[in-house]
Structure 1
Amino acid sequence: MKLLFLATFLASFIVPATGLKCFQCGISTSICLFKATCDADEQCFSRNSTALGFTVFSSGCTSTDKCGKEFADSLAGVTYKMTTTCCNYDYCNGAAAVKLSLVTGSIVALAWLTSYL
């Protein structure tokens, strides 16, 4: 009976594993509203490149064997290459544009405040 109680008690601490959570975007970092949950053998990734004067961006989940490797795609018949950058904590592949705008906004707010001092 004690063994059954101990087993039940220890089992209550086992939490089912959930996959890594990542942003999933395509084409632009400014419209990165989707989220994905990766499988056990996947990590968050981001890729960007410039093709025909446009910056092409993608992010989401990818298998770990693709991390750090070059990826070829095409846009309007032009082939371009992107390197897959991976990370392994929740939402680590966040949009650079959003981060940049937060930094820029903070600098502008600080400049505005200091102008009144």
Structure 2
Amino acid sequence: MKLLFLAAVLTYLVVPGTGLKCFQCGISTSLCIFSTTCDANEMCFSRNTTAGSIKVYSSGCTNTENCGKQVTDTLATVSYTYTTVCCNVDYCNGAAAVKLSLLTGSVMALVWMMGYL
């Protein structure tokens, strides 16, 4: 029994780790249910931006050098400012307004698809 326990522990230690998992949205005003896995030098990020009267949300993985930086940019003559907020725990960058788990999103999609069968 001790040998089996030792083998399980060693297997756990030898298995390569996976990258940080984050929610990912390009530029969105709604829920973010897609996910991505970050590279070694990346962290999860989220940005809340107001461009004119439109509130925009984006999230995903970013290089750690971008964390905490405030940037002002212009798109189609509309100036906007955003700060890249970073975190380093799986799925820590959920939408500020609504967080929707991947399981909930998958169940909702399955129920919707079953309506067509």
**Equivalents in 2 of 1:85, 1:22: separation in Å?**
13
Aligned to 1:49: 49
Letter in 2 for 1:46: S
The change in CA–CA distance for 1:73 and 1:31 in structure 2 (over 3 A counts) is farther
How far the C-alpha of 1:65 sits from its partner, in A, is 1.0
TM-score w.r.t. length of structure 2 = 0.68
Do structure 1's residue 12 and structure 2's residue 50 form an aligned pair? no
Aligned residues: 91
Letter in 1 for 2:77: G
How far the C-alpha of 1:57 sits from its partner, in A, is 1.3
Cα deviation, 1:67-96, whole Å, max 9, x if unaligned, reads 001234433331311000000000000012
The change in CA–CA distance for 1:15 and 1:71 in structure 2 (over 3 A counts) is farther
Aligned to 1:84: 84
How far the C-alpha of 1:12 sits from its partner, in A, is 2.7
Where 1:12 maps in the other structure, the secondary structure is helix
How far the C-alpha of 1:29 sits from its partner, in A, is 5.1
Q: Structure 2, unaligned stretches of length 5 or more?
A: 1-6, 100-117
TM-score w.r.t. length of structure 1 = 0.68
- Which stretch shifts more, 72-81 or 41-50? 72-81
How far the C-alpha of 1:31 sits from its partner, in A, is 3.0
Q: Which stretches of structure 1, 4 residues or more, deviate above 4 A after TM superposition?
A: none
Letter in 2 for 1:78: V
Q: Structure 1, unaligned stretches of length 5 or more?
A: 1-8, 100-117
CA contact (8 A) 1:72 1:79 kept: yes
Letter in 2 for 1:75: L
Task: Give the number of the structure whose alpha-carbon radius of gyration is greater.
Answer: 1
Aligned to 1:93: 93
**Equivalents in 1 of 2:31, 2:57: separation in Å?**
11
**Equivalents in 2 of 1:27, 1:39: separation in Å?**
21
* Bigger proportion of residues as helix: 1
